[in-house]
């Protein structure tokens, strides 16, 4: 009986996907999470505004672009995307708040909170989780918000943190 020995296996993007050590395969999934707390980013009414993230909590592949506030991995595959946005909706009367996920500048997802009357209040609103295929050679993901009244996001100190996160779940 022969034994398979693998020291490392790499994807086409050069990132180590898993390693072999002591008889066990250990996954090294690409993960990234950025956040913003108490940075008071102003959002104009009925205008798509790029969400600015102030801190990189973890980025195992170093694919976060802090200048353009986008994730551009060089490993092709399917990524799980999620997070939450803290918004000061009580300062103005809001009837909707949308978090727009974009791929290469085109909207691919909209998590919208909407009411028939102006009833939204200060909240940390979750983004609907989704899977997105990225080609590993230039595809990027970013987030915009839109609301019916001017407001402020990332308006409060911890534990009210806005986050945006990515995880490679299936390399292609």
Q: Is residue 131 part of a domain?
A: yes
Note the pTM of the prediction, 2 decimals. Answer: 0.83
* Domain membership flag for residue 72: yes
CB 172 within 8 A of CB 78: yes
What's the domain count of the chain? 1
Q: List, for residues 78-92, the tens digit of each pLDDT value.
A: 999 999 999 987 656
Q: Does residue 25 lie within any of the structural domains?
A: no
* Residue 74: inside a domain: yes
Separation between Cα atoms, residue 62 and residue 57, nearest integer Å: 11
Instruction: In whole angstroms, give the CA distance from residue 73 to residue 63.
Output: 5
* 106 domain residue, yes or no: yes
| DSSP label at residue 105 | T
Rg (CA), the chain: 19
In a domain, 8, yes or no: no
Residue 85: which domain range? 30-171
Can you point out the beta strands (E) in the chain? Answer: 8-10, 16-21, 24-27, 31-36, 41-43, 49-50, 55-59, 64-65, 70-71, 77-87, 96-103, 106-114, 123-134, 141-147, 151-153, 162-171
For residues 164 and 80, the answer to whether their CB atoms sit within 8 Å is no
pLDDT digits (tens, 9 = 90+) for 89-147: 765 667 888 999 999 999 999 999 887 666 667 888 999 999 999 999 999 999 999 99
**Distance separating alpha carbons of residues 172 and 95, to the nearest angstrom:** 41
């Amino acid at each position: 009986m022969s034994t398979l020995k693998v020291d490392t296996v790499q994807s086409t993007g050069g990132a180590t996907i898993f390693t072999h050590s002591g008889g066990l395969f250990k996954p090294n999934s690409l993960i990234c999470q950025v956040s913003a707390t108490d940075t008071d980013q102003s959002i104009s009414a009925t205008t798509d505004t790029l969400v600015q993230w102030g801190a990189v909590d973890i980025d195992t592949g170093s694919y976060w672009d802090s200048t353009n506030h986008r994730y551009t991995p060089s490993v092709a595959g399917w990524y799980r995307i999620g997070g939450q946005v803290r918004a000061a909706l009580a300062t103005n009367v809001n009837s909707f708040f949308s978090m727009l996920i974009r791929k290469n500048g085109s909207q691919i997802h909209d998590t919208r909170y909407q009411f028939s009357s102006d009833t939204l209040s200060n909240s940390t609103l979750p983004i609907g989780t989704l899977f997105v295929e990225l080609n590993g050679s230039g595809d990027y993901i970013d987030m915009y918000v839109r609301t019916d009244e001017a407001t402020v996001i990332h308006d409060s100190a911890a534990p009210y943190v806005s986050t945006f996160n990515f995880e490679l779940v299936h390399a292609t």
